[in-house]
Amino acid sequence: MTSDIGICKLEGDAGLRETAVRAERVAQAGGSSRLIIACIAIALVTGGVCALYFFPSLRSRPAMDDSGRAQNKTIAVLPFENLSDEPEGSVFADGVQDDVLTKLAKLSDLTVISRRSVMAYRGRQDLHKVGKALGVSQVLEGTVRRSGDRVHINARLVDVRTRMHLWAQHYDGYLDELFAMETDVARSAADRLGARVSLPEQLAIEERPTRDLIAYELYIRAFPLIEESVYYGLSSETNLFKAVELLNQAIARDPGFLLAYCQLARAHDGIYWTGLDRTAGRLESAKSAIDAALRLKPDSGDAHLALALHYYFGYLDYERARQELAIARRTMPNNAHLFELSGYIDRRQGRWDDAVRNLERATTLDPLNDNILFGAGFTSLCLRDYQRAREIADRGLALATANNYSQLLPAWIDFHERADTRPWHTVLDEILAKNPASAKDLTRGRFFVSLYERDPVAAENILATLQYPVMGARGIGNVKFSPAYARGLVARMKGDVAGAQAAFNAARVQQESEVHAAPD
């Protein structure tokens, strides 16, 4: 398929050159100015028709500015619809979409929406609404059918404002041609968007992630497990260890699979960060995977991003993490996690303006990510920019996937701005009514509201049901505070000095035990 396209383009160039030569010969032979003008006109018309035929990128481009660049080069690559009958067909289709998205995300002249936000749009969608929700003008969608050793891909680029198809192409080929097809989809979409592509970027989108499709499917299955666990706190006890298993299988099949090493490092660092295994051996496993990736490609943005996360999660070494992010950014202009992590480092180092800017960029690239929206809103809250914090909080509330923290953020804002805890109770009651199982996750919030209100009775009632640390193993620094520490806070609030001292002493003993058990 791709070779046929190349031949058509060469024939188009030859046709244009041949027409121009023919016109020049007629002009020299005739000597009549009118004949010359007529021949030139014919050449221009013929050449224009040929150009439109052989170069479809000249047709139906998005609106251009005075410099000839598309005015709004924003794109979302939606999940490709699986038309296969095979059990693993959906994983295969996700792999096609992921590779196309990854290739386009390497182009600095485009704004490409991240995977988490687009995965909400499986199946047929109202593309105009999709574009509005994601903040894009173009959407790339398609279907994938795998049958034996053959694959069929149907891809189309749509302007969501006009619903016009800017480009469409059918691909049929063998499985070993899959990555070439995906490269052509990405390259064609970028061309229709008028993207300026540098030589390094051109080489980057032509890279094959692996030569083993089974290894790639293992990688695709592991990827969301890590995303959900490390970044979104979902089922990490199961997901992260499963991801390690899948990625080790992928690497065993292809020891040159760079992206698999990078994700393996993230999984190990995630296990460490979330408190599942805070040992030096876990960090060594992460670093070993990163070193393998850097040996394969020393300037890999993915490898340097993995190293930045390693310094951040494993050592709280923000300066070294910042240095690695600067390297990764050269080749990863559309990576939302990169900007998110940059924002959190900025915040911890007191670079508040930079934190706001980086987190805002992260929300642009991943607009439906409730965790990033919460981080951006909380940053504005810390700056006492309550209006901006509310605007971001409203965006988070509008999401169907809004987590408990996103739902509570407006109440946080009310408390800090007006010292009003009533919205807390309203939101907490609403969350519990919808999902009683979330009571465990909300205990910390309920407890601290009782402290803010100086309500020792409510605080003691909450502590009576507490069967785990007030501040659990999830969260910044993975600090655990025992129920004894919470009882000390309540006793101090009641003016019970002796009771507070006894509770804090008990908490110290428990805390020392935790530190000795896991000194890292």
Tokens of 43: 């050449």
* Degrees to nearest 5, angle at CA 111 with 110 and 116: 135
Q: Are 216 and 210 in contact (CB under 8 A)?
A: yes
* CA distance linking residue 514 with residue 224, whole number of Å: 31
What pLDDT, in 10s, does the model give residues 351-375?
999 999 999 999 999 999 989 999 9
- The DSSP symbol for 272 reads H
pLDDT at 341 over 60: yes
Q: Which of 56-65, 316-325, 480-489, 497-506 has the lowest mean pLDDT?
A: 56-65
**What was the pLDDT predicted at 232?**
58
Contacts of residue 143, defined as CB under 8 A and 6 or more positions apart, other chains included, come to 80, 81, 82, 83, 93, 153, 154
pLDDT at 6 over 90: no
175-202 average pLDDT score: 96
HEC secondary structure over 278-306: CCHHHHHHHHHHHHHHHHHCCCCHHHHHH
* CA distance linking residue 508 with residue 367, whole number of Å: 42
Contacts of residue 373, defined as CB under 8 A and 6 or more positions apart, other chains included, come to 363, 392, 393, 395, 396, 399, 406
Sign (positive/negative) of CA torsion 468, 473, 474, 480? positive
Q: Are 352 and 320 in contact (CB under 8 A)?
A: no
Task: Identify the CA nearest to 183 among candidates 161, 203, 157, 162.
Answer: 203
What pLDDT, in 10s, does the model give residues 193-240?
999 999 999 999 999 999 999 999 999 999 989 987 776 555 557 899
- Provide the whole-model pTM: 0.81
Provide, rounded to the nearest whole percent, the portion of the chain with pLDDT above 90: 65
Beta carbons within 10 angstroms of residue 261's beta carbon: 27
What pLDDT, in 10s, does the model give residues 255-287?
999 999 999 999 999 999 888 898 999 999 999
Strands 150-159 and 164-174: antiparallel
Tokens of 330: 């050269």
Which H or E run contains 81? strand 81-82
Q: Are 287 and 325 in contact (CB under 8 A)?
A: no
**What was the pLDDT predicted at 480?**
66
Task: Identify the CA nearest to 380 among candidates 371, 388, 369.
Answer: 388
Who has greater pLDDT, 14 or 180? 180
Which superfamily, per CATH, for 211-332? Tetratricopeptide repeat domain (1.25.40.10)
pLDDT band at 46 (very low <50, low <70, confident <90, very high): very low
pLDDT at 17 over 60: no
Tokens of 498: 């002796």
What pLDDT, in 10s, does the model give residues 433-445?
888 877 777 887 8
Fold equal for 211-332 and 346-417? yes
* CA distance linking residue 424 with residue 410, whole number of Å: 9
φ, ψ of residue 139 to 5 degrees: the values are -130, 135
Using the structure block, give the residue that is written with the tokens 């296969």.
84
Who has greater pLDDT, 29 or 161? 161
**What was the pLDDT predicted at 471?**
53
Beta carbons within 10 angstroms of residue 128's beta carbon: 15
Tokens of 432: 């519990």
Contacts of residue 340, defined as CB under 8 A and 6 or more positions apart, other chains included, come to 358, 359, 362, 366, 372, 375
**What was the pLDDT predicted at 332?**
97
**What was the pLDDT predicted at 468?**
56
287-311 average pLDDT score: 98
CA 474, chain centre distance (Å): 21
Q: Which of 226-240, 301-315, 451-465 has the lowest mean pLDDT?
A: 226-240
Architecture of domain 346-417: Alpha Horseshoe (1.25)
Assigned fold of 74-208: Rossmann fold (3.40.50)
Q: Are 457 and 479 in contact (CB under 8 A)?
A: no
- Residue 150 DSSP SS3: strand
pLDDT at 513 over 60: yes
Q: Where are the domains of the chain?
A: 2-58, 74-208, 211-332, 346-417, 421-520
406-418 average pLDDT score: 91
